[in-house]
Structure 1
Amino acid sequence: MIDLILNYIAGILILVGALFTLTASIGLLRLPDLYTRMHAASKAGTLGSCVVLLALALQSNDAAIALRALAGILFFLLTVPISSHLLAKAAHGAGYNLWEHSKRDDLTIAEEKARRAKPAAGTKTPDN
C-alpha cells in the first residue's frame, strides 16, 4: 500500500518538475533579453530539476541512490543561483544591454554611486 502511495507521489512530482522545466524552456524562447532569459532558466530550471530528483529519491529502494539524489538537489540549490548571478554580472560588464522596457538598472546605479563617492586621483581628502 505504501509503495502505491509513493508511486503516485513520485509521478506527481515528476509531472510538476517537467512543468517547471517546460516553463523554463518557454521563458528561454519568449523573454526579451539575456537577463530575463537567464532568470527563467535558473529559477524554473533549478526548481524543476530539484523536484524530479526528489521524486527519484522517494522512488528509489536504495538508500545510496536516494542520498545521491538529495546531494544533487543540494548541489543545484547552491550552485545555480550563484553561477547565474556571476554570469549576469559578467554580461553586464561586457555591455549586454537590458531590455528597453526594463524599469531600472540597479548595477549601473550602484556603480555610479560608488564612482561618485570615490575621490578622484590626486585630490586632497580630509584624511591626507
Structure 2
Amino acid sequence: MSSKNFWKEKEAVKDQKEYEKRSKAIHLYEEGCGFNKILRMVQRSRFWLSKWLKRYKEQGDKGLKDRSRAPRRIWRKISDLLVKKMLSIREELESHKTRRSAFCGIGAEVIHWELQRQKIRNIPKVWYG
C-alpha cells in the first residue's frame, strides 16, 4: 500500500470515528441525557455539542457530516465576459483599427486604460512583478 493511500485511509477512519461521536452525542441528547454528562462521555467542549446539535436540528443526519472548508468561489477570478472583452480589445489594438493603437501599443496598461475608458467596472489591477 502506498503512503498516500495509507494516509487517505487513516483520514477516512478518523472522519468516521468523528461522525460516530457526533451521532452518539445527539442520540444521548435526544434520550434526555444532560449536557454535562454527554460532554464527559464524548470528551468535547460545550461549543462542540451546541454546534452539532444546531446542525442536526437544521439538516438532520446530513448536518453531522463534515463540510468542506474550501472556498465556494475564487474571489480573484476574472469573469468570462471580462476576459472576452479584454481579448477583443487586444485584437482591436493589434489590427490597428484605432488610431491610438498605432502609437500606444497593445500591452496590459493600454488594455486597462481602454477598459476604464469604456466604463467597465471591477477591472483587475495591472501588476508589475
TM-score strictly above 0.5: no
Structure (1/2) with the larger helix percentage: 1
TM-score between both structures, scaled by the size of structure 1: 0.30
Query: TM-score by structure 2 length?
Result: 0.30
Bigger radius of gyration? 2
Higher relative contact order (CA 8 A, sep 6+): 1
